[in-house]
Structure 1
Amino acid sequence: MTDVDTAQAVLGRRTTRPRWVTDGGLETDLIYHHGVDLPGFAAYPLLDSLEGRTLLSRYYTGFAHVASKAGAGLLLETPTWRASAGWVEALGGSRRDVRRINLESVIFLAGLAEILVSDGVSPGGAAGYDGSGHGPDVRVCGVLGPRGDGYVAGEPTSADEFGDYHWAQIAAFAQSGAARVTAYTLTTVAEAVGVVQAARAQGVAVAVSFTVETNGRLPDGTPLGEAIELLRLQAAPDDLLVNCAHPTHIAAALTPDDGWTEHVTGLRVNASRRSHAELDDAAELDEGDIGDLVSEHEKLAARLPRLDIVGGCCGTDVRHVAALWGVEA
């Protein structure tokens, strides 16, 4: 049985299917498969050149084909994981650049969405740019990353401070008409709360995504289930995901009676079984075993009754995401 057959068999047994395809490990794909230098792991500088925009368009189009073959919707998520104020300044920009970078990223993807729809790659319209009349099949979403490293929790910070930090980037997305903002690879509950509160204050839909270590705990040591419950008590997001971890790492957080699993609506998993520390030290890309990834992902998905969003993270590309959806890349 092929990877695609395995995914199709499990998807066929589920009472509901996920509805939304996301992309994969954008930065690792660009670095290791296309030889692009990304200081600070930042992909947004590619928006400044025709060559960079062409490369990004080809990247996202591959996932549009996956969505089309799977009969699913497509989340076009901006290449702005490192486009918050602190990271922009660290890469030689200024705080004034934050609004421009994030607005331009949404405009770029909105234009690509229209091309994909007109070419028949993805049916329907883009939320915020929707002219289809039958509901959005393509949504342009603004991406936030953590204030810090993403693999390390850093010094304790209040939710209010995190909200203030992310405010400018969220404001740009709110002004742009993006369907929502999604904060990926969060390492603490406080940062997740701050993001949700800042988004709510600006009237934009919001999703947050925690990352976990191999033991199913956030990098600050909080068990995933506890983090989800604490977040929901303080500031419940519209969607809740887990990303940048292998399915087995997320599964390590599961127990037979976990109620929090019904709140997880999305997975963007790593291809590799390695820990964050091991991935940081690796000199080469670990693309994992696609068959193993599909098998473990489906075991995990069976425990998540509201799983609605499926994509990839570090080490994954269009091949991995296609296999997770049971289609050919």
Structure 2
Amino acid sequence: MAEDGRADPTDRQAMFLTYTGMETDLIFTQGVALPGFAAFALLETPEGRERIQTYYRDLIAIGAQYGLGVILESPTWVAHRDRAAALGYGAEALAALNRQAIDQMCAARTLYGDLPTLISANIGPRFDAYAPQGRMSVAEADDYHSEQIAVLAQTQVDLLSGYTLACSNEASGIVRAAKQRDLPVVIAFTVETDGRLPTGETLQDAIQTVDAATGGYAAYFMINCAHPDHFAETLEDAPWMQRLRGVVANASRCSHAELDDAQELDAGDPVALAQDLSAIARRFAQISVLGGCCGTDMRHLAEIAKQAPKDRAVTPPG
């Protein structure tokens, strides 16, 4: 716990719960249209804001029930220049929505949070995460993502989280941009069914490359948008693994290509997914963030929280 009573994103002694599956849940189970996967557009209407608020309220309630801290993720994964411009959003409107997203999470923390609750600004890749056609240099990634990060740095965000990243260069650029603004940052890589990033990099190589390029500034690394079956066998008792501190998993065992072509949601088995994540967290004591990504909903999150190691439960501040 930090001195000011807030949860510490680098605290290995506490277990946190997080959720990044809102988009697939909205599209496939609630019938909400999200062109370009742009959940941030929901912030423009009272109904949309209420939908987002419901996820925050429910996640915090699950965390409180099982003694886990909560990391709230903003709906800003594609709220950056190129992907938002394709949907008709200019820089001024985009900046306002990024700020609004953080304000809503801060309000939710005040309304519902009895246990430590972190506010995370969610940043996604510039290009398609599963087919990264644009291989940016570290400097190019720094320059590109600095636009969104500069806006978020002016809010009450606790940390930045770069999610579903497919290459070490883009991750390094995000970390470098966060470092320039003295913001804690987390990097979550996505992997294919062979446990490698879409670029072919191993998790070990990607993590070590980012650390080498940024002086080890990232608070920690995670895996997201993949089923545990895809990467569990690549995890090992080795020094580099100490930098891997979280897993935010897909419900489905399908590959990214199969999921892209799917017409129906594959929600998998919530109990089995929770068992897989619990096994990873028990095997590697540094794993302190668990959660659900594509295909998951609050059923999955409740099971994950229920089965998470309880020797690292959090306590209310104060």
User: What TM-score results when the alignment is normalised by the length of structure 1?
Assistant: 0.86
Whole-angstrom CA distance in 2 between matches of 1:86 and 1:155: 12
Q: Does 1:253 align with 2:234?
A: yes
Residue 97 of structure 1: CA displacement?
Answer: 2.4
Q: 1:172 aligns with which of 144, 151, 155?
A: 151
Superposition pairs of residues 1-329 of structure 1, within 5 angstroms: 18-116=14-112, 122-123=113-114, 137-235=116-214, 236=216, 237-255=218-236, 257-326=237-306
Residue 301 of structure 1: CA displacement?
Answer: 2.3
- Is the contact between residue 214 and residue 252 of structure 1 (CA under 8 Å) also seen in structure 2? no
Partner of 1:128: none
Whole-angstrom CA distance in 2 between matches of 1:43 and 1:233: 33
Residue 300 of structure 1: CA displacement?
Answer: 2.4
Whole-angstrom CA distance in 1 between matches of 2:205 and 2:191: 12
- Is the contact between residue 106 and residue 156 of structure 2 (CA under 8 Å) also seen in structure 1? no
3-state SS of the aligned residue for 1:302?
A: helix
1:83-122 C-alpha deviation (Å, 9 max, x unpaired): 0111110111112223211111101111121111xxxxx3
Whole-angstrom CA distance in 1 between matches of 2:232 and 2:244: 12
Whole-angstrom CA distance in 2 between matches of 1:202 and 1:267: 26
3-state SS of the aligned residue for 1:292?
A: helix
Which residue identity lines up with residue 269 of structure 2 in the other structure? D
| Residues 275/17 of structure 1: CA separation in 2 closer, same or farther (3 Å cut) | farther
Structure 1's unaligned 5+ residue stretches are: 1-15, 117-121, 125-136
Which residue identity lines up with residue 63 of structure 1 in the other structure? L
Whole-angstrom CA distance in 1 between matches of 2:86 and 2:134: 19
Partner of 2:3: none
- Is the contact between residue 68 and residue 305 of structure 2 (CA under 8 Å) also seen in structure 1? no
Aligned residues: 295
User: What TM-score results when the alignment is normalised by the length of structure 2?
Assistant: 0.89
Residue 74 of structure 1: CA displacement?
Answer: 1.4
3-state SS of the aligned residue for 1:140?
A: strand
Which residue identity lines up with residue 264 of structure 2 in the other structure? E
3-state SS of the aligned residue for 1:192?
A: helix
Which residue identity lines up with residue 29 of structure 1 in the other structure? D
Structure 2's unaligned 5+ residue stretches are: 1-11, 308-318
- Is the contact between residue 24 and residue 317 of structure 1 (CA under 8 Å) also seen in structure 2? no
Residue 141 of structure 1: CA displacement?
Answer: 1.4
Partner of 2:5: none
Which residue identity lines up with residue 242 of structure 1 in the other structure? I
- Is the contact between residue 20 and residue 309 of structure 1 (CA under 8 Å) also seen in structure 2? yes
Percent same amino acid at aligned positions? Answer: 38
Residue 21 of structure 1: CA displacement?
Answer: 1.3
4+ long deviations beyond 4 Å: none
**RMSD of the TM alignment (CA)?**
1.6
Which residue identity lines up with residue 75 of structure 2 in the other structure? P
Residue 17 of structure 1: CA displacement?
Answer: 6.4
- Is the contact between residue 88 and residue 97 of structure 1 (CA under 8 Å) also seen in structure 2? no
